[in-house]
Every structure is written in C-alpha cells, then in structure tokens.
Amino acid sequence: MRVLVVEDDRDLNRQLVSALSDAGYAVDTAFDGEEGFFLGETEPYDVVILDTGLPKMDGISVLEQWRRAERNMPVIILTARDRWSDKVAGIDAGADDYMAKPFHMEELLARIRAQVRRASGHAKSDIECGPLRLDTKTARVTLDGQPIKLTSHEYRLLAYLMHHNERVVSRTELVEHLYEQDFDRDSNTIEVFIGRLRKKIPPDMIKTIRGLGYRLSQEGDAD
C-alpha cells in the first residue's frame, strides 16, 4: 500500500514516514501544498495524510482541487485547529477522516487501516482468502494458522493482492501501489516477488492472467 504524507513540519513528517514505513507502507512525502497537490494529482495513492496549514497552498484548497479533478483516494486531514467549524470545512472539502494535533500515532495508523480496508471493500480488520489470513492490525499473515515469514516487499505485494482478492491486478497497478516515487520501478521485480510468494503459499492461489496481471483466488479455483 502506498501513502502520501503532506506535512510541512519536518519533525512530524519524519515521524509519520518512520511509523508508516515500519507498518509496511510505501511512503512519499511533500512539505508544501503545491508539491502535495502535484503528487496527489499525478500519482496513485491508497491513502493521503494531509495537513491543513501548509505553505504555498493550504490543505483545504489542495483537497478541493483533487476532488474537482475526481481524485478519489481516501484523505485524512491533520490540523492544529480543533474547532468544529474546521472539521466541517475539511469534511465538506472531501476529507474522509479528520484528526486534530497532537494525536497518538497508533490511532492514526488505525484510521489509515480503516480507510484502506473500506476503499477495497473490506469491513473487518482480518482479511481471509482460503487458508490465508491477513491481520491488518499487526501486519501479520498466516497460512492455516501458521505465521508466514515475509520480506517487506513480499508483504506489501501479498497484502495488496489480499485487499483486492478475486480481482485481476495488473503489473502496472502493483508497481504504482507498492513502491515509493523514487524507487527503481522495474516491473520485472514483480515477477520475482510473485515467484517467491508462490514458494511460501499454495502456488496456485496466485494466478497469472495472461496479458492482464495476477489474481489471488481460493486454492483450487479454476482460471
């Protein structure tokens, strides 16, 4: 999953990146509204963390322009202001959630998980596909109840496929949602990670749909 953090406080920005990276997300950052708007307009994100008090362009204006351009990724607003009118302004601009500073990082991570689940059509924190189970709270994957040891990139790939199980996901979509903006995006690496995952789970669960991409399905399903 890929997250954009738009926050001009460099200490808080760094803390957010660290916490999100530790939780298994690919993270891009911006420190002003113009840069944040550009990234949100041109890159695909699973969720955006957006401060309201930004230089060059305030967060509410950024969000309003995204929504006018039909950029529909989930957006969580951060603000130092806790007045009800500020909350209303953020929600009316198209925010999906709202947090006032200071906040607990664990609460923000929980809200991010909820937005990602809802955007992919899952209501519960546990996502299951056949014998596979993903606990989004702990970033833990089990097979028939036994934990699977995954690298960070293997986890990102499997988690994305599990959030979108039974749907064909193209290589381009996987590359765009698994790697940061400055990562060397060679789509061939997706094949490498798919191959590694097939050695750790029932291999026929990840199906190659020729010319289209990959689909995570119940074990034994036909193509």
What is the spatial distance between Cα 198 and Cα 120, in angstroms, rounded to a whole number?
Answer: 23
pLDDT per residue over 136-159, tens digit each?
988 899 999 999 999 988 999 999
pLDDT per residue over 19-74, tens digit each?
999 998 999 999 999 999 999 999 999 999 999 989 999 999 999 999 999 999 99
pLDDT of residue 188: 77
pLDDT per residue over 60-112, tens digit each?
999 999 999 999 999 999 988 767 777 888 899 999 999 988 999 999 999 99
Q: How far does Cα 95 stand from its chain's mean position?
A: 16
Tell me which residue of 179, 180, 208 sits closest to 195, measured CA to CA.
Answer: 208
Q: Is residue 87 within a helix (H) or strand (E), and if so which, with residue range?
A: helix 84-92
pLDDT per residue over 169-191, tens digit each?
999 999 888 888 766 666 578 89
| Domain architecture of the chain: domains with CATH | 2-119 (3.40.50.2300), 126-216 (1.10.10.10)
- What b/e sequence results for 8-27 when a residue is b if at least 16 CB atoms lie within 10 Å of its CB, and e otherwise? bbeebbeebbebbeebebbb
The backbone torsions φ and ψ at residue 148, rounded to the nearest 5 degrees and listed phi first, read -105, 130
**Can you tell me whether residue 5 is helix, strand or coil?**
strand
What is the spatial distance between Cα 112 and Cα 133, in angstroms, rounded to a whole number?
Answer: 19
Rg (C-alpha) for the chain, rounded Å, is 18
**Can you tell me whether residue 19 is helix, strand or coil?**
helix
> What number of CA atoms fall less than 13 Å from residue 217's CA on the CB side?
15
